[in-house]
Amino acid sequence: MASKWYPKKGRVIFHVDMNSFYASVEAAFDPSLKGKPLAIAGNPEERRGIIVTSSYEARKYGVKTTMPLGEARRLCPDLIVMRPNFERYRTASKEMFKILADVTSLVQPVSIDEGYMDITDCADQGTPPELAERIQHRISEELDLPCSIGIAPNKFLAKMASDMKKPMGITILRKRDLDRTLWPLPIEEMHGVGTKTAEKLRKIGIETIGGLASHSVTELKGLLGINGERLQNRANGMDDRPVDPEAVHEFKSIGTSTTLPHDTTDEDEIQTVLRRLSNKVAARMSGKKVLARNVQLTIRYHDRKTVTRSRQLHEFVSKPDELFQHSIQLFDQHWNQDPVRLLGVTAGDLAEKSEVTQQLDLFNYQQYASKEKLYKTIDTLTEKYGKNPFHTLEIPDQTKVSTSFQKDFLDDYKK
């Protein structure tokens, strides 16, 4: 009987995660690629290119996301490398989300290849495992794509569950089973714990998710700020975030780009463009109440050659000037002096402002405190006059501004 699967109090959440999405889409488009080690990379012709994703056959050789292409080829000499085809992936993603929407309207896309579903009111359609199997089967049969589905009472546990069996896995994660299913896992495997956070946690003796679940919350807050308490709640299976179809702010980057009215090598004009783009990205970040720990610059030259470079930051940033300074430094490092046709600025590695406590030390406290009033004044004046009154340089309005691919996709999904 399906009703016993659906609690009177509480929810049933799915996390649907497409397996090796880009590589799987290419194999669905060209079946001759199936069963072969395949990688998608930004610049296949260059050894310096970076692996975006790879098939499970390639992963068996040790090929990993973000690995330099030269290293991947050494590990797997027969590796097939392709450039990403974003239109193809975008089309496949839209079709995948249509299948999810056939089950419930409570679908929240998180990125192009994953999303949450709240199926609490879907008892008339069958048990959660039956529904998951049906969704997985439809995506496989209609799109020829594999996916894994996590089933749990909340978003965090559903996300952890979908990672437990890949490819084509269906995993149920219940709160009463955490001591044997979740807590024994290494702390690095917990969603929301990055490499640096894991290093900090290991230094205070936390090796597993269970160790985090039972640790002193006071010590965790001292180490990680409010994020320490939030992570401990997650480790104990607590997460009350709703599945929100409107929550497109959870995408992983915020970016914008502009095609210039003419190819240029004028450094003043280029600086003006980068400042305007930084302002736009910062405004969107402010609206979404997020901070970034990665800044990416895109340069497209007159011959359409495109270069994308990024830097990981030690601290979170959100202000226009911070984004601009990192963007201009990246430009100075990587511009080859050829005429520029397009520029783009993207903020990545996002976190909600409310969940981040800046770890101020003796060296940056005064600098941060002295700027805070200025930031608030600028924000007030910008709100009043519609633009930052301290930035007088503007590029011509005829430039065409487009948002990042990820934002485009999620905006389209909402329509």
Would you say 303 is a known binding-site residue?
no
Please pick, among 114, 133, 189, 372, the residue that the annotation labels catalytic: 114
Query: Which amino acid would we find at residue 291?
Result: L
Q: What angle do CA 220, 221, 227 make, to 5 degrees?
A: 95
Q: What is the C-alpha to C-alpha distance for residues 48 and 72, in angstroms, rounded to an integer?
A: 11
- Nearest CA to 348 out of 285, 277, 408 is that of 285
Q: Is 250 a catalytic residue?
A: no
Is residue 239 a known part of a binding site?
no
**CA 251 to each of CA 87, 201, 205, 248, 273: distance values in angstroms, whole numbers, following the listed order:** 18, 27, 33, 6, 25
Binding residues for Mg(2+): 17, 113
Q: Which residues are catalytic?
A: 114
| Binding-site residues from annotation | 17, 113
